[in-house]
Amino acid sequence: MSNKCQCVDKPPNGLIVLALIIRGEKSEEALKRRNGTANTMATSVPSLAIPGQRLGSANTYAAGPGTHIQQTNIFASIAGPVILDPAQPNTQSKATLRVTRILSTAAQSSPAAAFAKSKPRYNTLPAVDSIVLARVTRVQKRQAAVSILVVLDETSAPNADLTKAASDNDNIASILTSAANPENHSSTDELRFQAIIRKEDVRAVEKDRVVMEDMFRVGDIVRGCVLSLGDQTSYYLTTARNDLGVVMARSEAGNMMFPVSWKEMRDPVTGAGEQRKVARPY
Partner 1 sequence: MNDRRRVNGPPGGTRPPVYASLLQSGTGADTRAQRQRQPTDLRKIFLKTGLIPSASGSSYLEFEPSASLAAARSNPKSLIPPSSALKLACTVHGPKPLPRSAPFSPNLVLTTHVKYAPFAARKRKGHVRDSSERDLGVHLETALRGAIIAERWPKSGLDITVTILEAEDDRWWGDVPDSHDASWGMMNVLAGCISAASAAIADAHIDCLDLVSGGVAALVSDDSTDSPSALPKLMLDTDPAEHRSIVSACVVAYMPARDEITELWLKGDSSKVSTADGDQRSGHEALIDGAVDAARGAHTVLAEAVRESLQKTLGQS
Partner 2 sequence: MAITILPPVVEDVAPYHADSDDSMSGADSDSDVEMSGVSRPNKKPRTGDGKISSGIVTPGEIVTADPKWMRGHGTYMNPLSTSIIATVAGKVQQTNKLLSVHPLRARYIPEIGDLVVGRIVEVQSKRWKVDVAAPLLAQLPLSAINLPGGILRRRTSADELQIRTFFSEGDLVVAEVQSVHQDGSASLHTRSLKYGKLRNGVFLAVTGTGGSGASSSSVKGGVGSGSGSSAAAASSGTGGGVVRSRRQVWTHTTANGGGEVDIILGVNGYIWISKHADGAEAVSSTTENVSITRMEEMVSSSIYSSQNDDVPPQTRREIARLTQCVRVLVQGGVRVDEDTLTDSYEASLQVDLEVGDDDEEEEYGQEGREYLEGAKARRILELTMQRK
Partner 3 sequence: MSNQRQASSASQTPHLSPAELSYLYTSLSLPKSPIRPDGRSPTQFRPLTAESNILPGTNGSARIGFADGTQAIVGVKAEVEKTVLSTDTLASSEGGEGEDSTSTSNSAAASGHGSWVQMSIEIPGFRDDDALPVFLSEMMRESLVGSVADGGSDGGGDGGGDGDVTMAGGLKGRLVINKRWHWRLYIDVLLLSQPLSYPLPLLSLTTHLALLSTKLPKLKSQGEEDPFFDDDWEVAEYLYPRSSNLKAAGNASQYVRPPVTLLVVSVGENIIFDPSREEIAVADAVLAISVTRDTEAGNLKLLSIRTVDPPSRLTQPAVPNSENVNMLGATAPTEDIAVLNPATGEEEVPGVWRPRRGGVKRSVIANMVKTVLKKGGVGEEVLEGLEGVEVE
Partner touching 104 among partner 3, partner 1, partner 2, none, CB below 5 to 8 Å by kind: partner 1
Smallest gap, in angstroms, from Cβ of residue 195 to partner 3?
22
Q: Closer CB to partner 1, residue 189 or residue 200?
A: 189
Q: Closer CB to partner 3, residue 73 or residue 234?
A: 73
Distance of CA 65 to the CA centre of its chain: 13
Partner touching 190 among partner 3, partner 2, partner 1, none, CB below 5 to 8 Å by kind: partner 1
DSSP state at residue 178: H
DSSP state at residue 127: -
**Is 53:41 a contact under the CB 8 Å cutoff?**
yes
**Residues 198-237, mask of contacts with partner 1 (x by CB under 8 A):** -------------------------------x-xxx----
**Is 272:264 a contact under the CB 8 Å cutoff?**
no
- Other CB atoms within a 10 A radius of the CB of residue 81 amount to 19
Half-sphere exposure (CA, 13 Å, Cβ side) for 91? 7
Q: Which residues contact 164 (CB under 8 A, 6 or more apart)?
A: 111, 156
Question: Of 67, 54, 62, which is closest to residue 100 (Cα–Cα)?
Answer: 67
Q: Enumerate residues 58-87 that contact partner 3 by CB under 8 A.
A: 69-72
Amino acid present at 65: P
Q: Closer CB to partner 3, residue 19 or residue 69?
A: 69
Q: Which residues bind partner 1 (CB under 8 A)?
A: 4-5, 11-12, 15-16, 18-27, 30-31, 33-34, 48, 50-54, 66, 68, 70, 75, 77-81, 101, 103-104, 108-109, 114, 117-118, 121-123, 125, 190-194, 229, 231-233
